Every structure is written in structure tokens, then in C-alpha cells.
Amino acid sequence: MPSNRAPIRNVHFYNASTGEVLGGVYQQGSLTQATIIWILKNVLLIVEHDWHMKNRESGSTIEPTSSPLTAGDYDIYCSGDIKLTNEPWYARINSFSASGREDSFRDGIRLRDRSCVISGDKNYVYDYGWFYGFQAAHIFPLASESLWVQFNYQRWITNIPDTDTSSRINSVQNGFLIRQDLHTLFDQYLLSVNPDDGYKIITFFPNPFRVDGRILEYSCRNPDDPNHVSDELLRWHFRQSVLANMREAGEPLFETDFPPGTDQMATMRTEPYGKERLEMELAVRLPKPES
């Protein structure tokens, strides 16, 4: 069943004037003080005056340094109002190919990456064409192609001529190869990549996968390769992950394990964003008309 993300947090942010809980995060170790300040300033908070943040226990002011943020409670001080952004968060489903439209995307991702770019695990049977346990993941979800077109995110794809009339969502620049178990976490915004902090991998929940703080494999981000992953799309996913995990109580987590006989439609109808999730499921399962 879906649930919000607040219970697992070990960092909490409060409005010092009102005591209001603004949000929080689970800190596995990779989030620096500088990154947290950037997130609050550029994503989560709307303020018109200068502000600063203090650790409630120590009373120390948090500075934009490379030191990891310590778990604990933090009060945000501002002489004016502090508001939370209402920037939309977009639910997504597991971005597995269902119609066969994405064969070229999958094959291009496999050819470029050859390993899980999150964990670094190598595919030692690449030469045999075996990719068991590895999947090509879309960074911007295929099921939300209408939003991709609406906001003209195809402008972030640079390896396809401007004369191409497709949406370009299946460009290899919108994806990478990832281990199957990590793919689900990526689609649930439970792990992401911050291209503005050295392509550091951030996980937002307690986990044993040992990928928090790793650096995204160079194979997918080599700037000399015209097919390198798009930094702008990584930024989009990281921003969505922040909104999902850090704002107020966080966004719901969706059930992905449906045993045989489960009424999936009934489960989706009871979920937050159930209508949207059903529409996305249908979008990836139904064949797309040829253009």
C-alpha cells in the first residue's frame, strides 16, 4: 500500500517562527551541507528575505560546505514569511518496455553503458548478448510523454537532428543501464543522481545497496560521446526526487509487487494519484499509432 516518506527521515526542517514542519530527508551520508542549502534555496522554499538554518541540538549555523549534514532537527530563521513551493511532482510507474517501441532505445543503452551505471556492476556476458538483471531505464518516464511534449523537454536531446519530428523521448540521452532492483528505486524517486555535485548518487531511504555517494559511471556521461546522458534530464529527475522525498510529509510510494490473482485495478483505485497511475499504465501498454 502507498505511504508517505516521512517516517524514515532522520533529518527534519522546521520554521523557527511557527514550529511548522517544512519537510525533511533521510541522510545516508551523501548529502552535504552545501547541497541541502541549495535544495532549500532553489527548490523547496519561497522566501523574500535572507534566511539561515541552525542545528537545534548544537545551535550551530549550517554553512554551504562539503561536510555531510548531520542527522537531527534544524530550525530555519527568516525575518519574513517562509512558504513551501507548490511546484508539481509527477508520479511515475516502472518504465519497462511493454509495446516493443523502445527496442532501439534499449539496444543503444546497452551498447553505450554495458554495466549498471549506478552500482558499477559489470555485465560479464555482454559479448553473448545477455543482459539478465540489467534494464534500460528512462530518466524522464515514457508514460508521461504528453508532459515531455508539453514542456518541450526534447530540447535537451542533442544527438538527434532538429528536423526530426518525433518527440525524441526514446533517445539514449534520456536513459542509462541499471540493475533491475535499482531500476524500481529510481522510478520511485528513492535514488537519484545530482549532476551538479560531481554526478553523485543520492539515496533517500535506509538501504543496503551501497550506492549512496557513488559517482555515476563515466561510460554514460562521457562528454566526448554525442550519446551521453543529458545533464538537464538528470537535473529534472533529481529535482523531482527532492520534491517527492523532502517536501512536507513526502509523496506516496506505490505498490509494485502484485502476486498472482491480485486485483491491480482495485489497488490503483485506492491509491493517491490512482487515476494518473492507471492512465500511465495504459499509455505504455497500448500500441502507439505510427506517425
Give 240-284 pLDDT, tens digit per residue: 999 999 999 999 886 554 456 555 555 555 555 555 555 555 555
Helices and strands (H, E) in the chain, number of each type: 7, 10
> Please, what CATH class does the domain formed by 6-84 belong to?
alpha beta
Collect the ranges in the chain with pLDDT lower than 70: 1-3, 93-102, 163, 254-291
Q: Are 138 and 174 in contact (CB under 8 A)?
A: yes
* pLDDT of amino acid 260: 61
Pinpoint the residues of the chain covered by CATH 3.10.20: 6-84
**What is the pTM assigned to this prediction?**
0.87
Rounded to the nearest integer, the mean pLDDT of the chain is: 88
10 Å Cβ neighbour count for 148?
A: 20
* pLDDT of amino acid 125: 94
**Three-state DSSP class for 68?**
strand
